[in-house]
Amino acid sequence: MEPVDLALLIALDCSASVTFEEFNLMAGGCAAALRDPEVVAGFTGGARGASLCALLLFSSPDAQAVSVPWTRIVTPADLERFAADVDSTPRLVRAGTTAIGSALVAAGALLDILPAPARRRVIDVVSDGGANDGPAPEPIRDRLVDAGVTINGLCVLHEEPDLVATFTATIIGGPGAFAEQCQDYDGFADAMRRKLQREIA
């Protein structure tokens, strides 16, 4: 398969702190952000004219699931199909602890099986809490960064107001890494849109 400009893996927290209503707001907010015209143009308008996207769900150390596999984005219609799959995704993993280190391991394994080479590889970790189970995320983050991966975050602050500082210290890393934030899930779609626009700029 021809190389792409960006491989973006979105990893959504499905731990016990995320209610089913909040999960639906996350999935719907991701889909809405992916449909933003500026985001659509960014995914399809790079030098190679193509990107790859996938969706990973995570909670406890043994609970990760690929909800939407790697999808090649060449046209706005391709991104619309991916957004629709994200919007309608079921909650495939049980509510449990927040094992972000394990989620990063699973994300790295998915990046290892990309269907095409990517100029940039980005993992987006979306959560309303820091890691509280499983392996520590820092050494896993460092290995991914050493391999050329960027890890960004989207922090929902309603339960942990200092979550951006936690993400900055333990999770995000790589060229241009950053953590976007929103106060609660009602603001999630706007925060996701801002983050995607920044990532594809």
Query: What's residue 200's pLDDT?
Result: 86
Percent over 70 (pLDDT), the chain: 100
pLDDT tier at 165 (50, 70, 90 boundaries)?
Answer: very high
pLDDT tens sequence across 25-78: 999 999 999 999 999 999 999 999 999 999 999 999 999 999 999 999 999 999
pLDDT tier at 95 (50, 70, 90 boundaries)?
Answer: confident
pLDDT at 13 over 90: yes
pLDDT at 1 over 90: no
pTM: 0.96
Dihedral over Cα of 184, 149, 143, 10: its sign: positive
| Distance in angstroms (rounded) separating the CA atoms of residues 40 and 79 | 7
| Distance in angstroms (rounded) separating the CA atoms of residues 127 and 53 | 19
Query: What's residue 201's pLDDT?
Result: 74
The alpha helices in the chain, defined as continuous H runs, are: 20-34, 37-44, 76-87, 100-111, 137-146, 163-170, 188-200
Report how far apart, in Å, the C-alpha atoms of 141 and of each of 100, 198, 200 are: 10, 21, 21
Q: Which residues pair with 7 in a beta bridge?
A: 52, 121
CB of 121 closer than 8 Å to CB of 148 = yes
pLDDT tens sequence across 103-162: 999 999 999 999 999 999 999 999 999 999 999 999 999 999 999 999 999 999 998 999
Give me the architecture of the 4-200 domain, per CATH: 3-Layer(aba) Sandwich (3.40)
| Distance in angstroms (rounded) separating the CA atoms of residues 9 and 88 | 17
| Distance in angstroms (rounded) separating the CA atoms of residues 176 and 59 | 26
Q: Looking at residues 5-22, what average pLDDT do you find?
A: 95
CB of 154 closer than 8 Å to CB of 191 = yes
Q: Looking at residues 11-17, what average pLDDT do you find?
A: 95
Residue 145: how many CB atoms within 10 A of its CB? 16
- Give φ, ψ of 165 to 5 degrees: -65, -40
Domain boundaries, the chain: 4-200
* Secondary structure element (H or E) that encloses residue 77, with its range: helix 76-87
Q: Which residues pair with 72 in a beta bridge?
A: 52
Query: What's residue 22's pLDDT?
Result: 94
Query: What's residue 161's pLDDT?
Result: 95
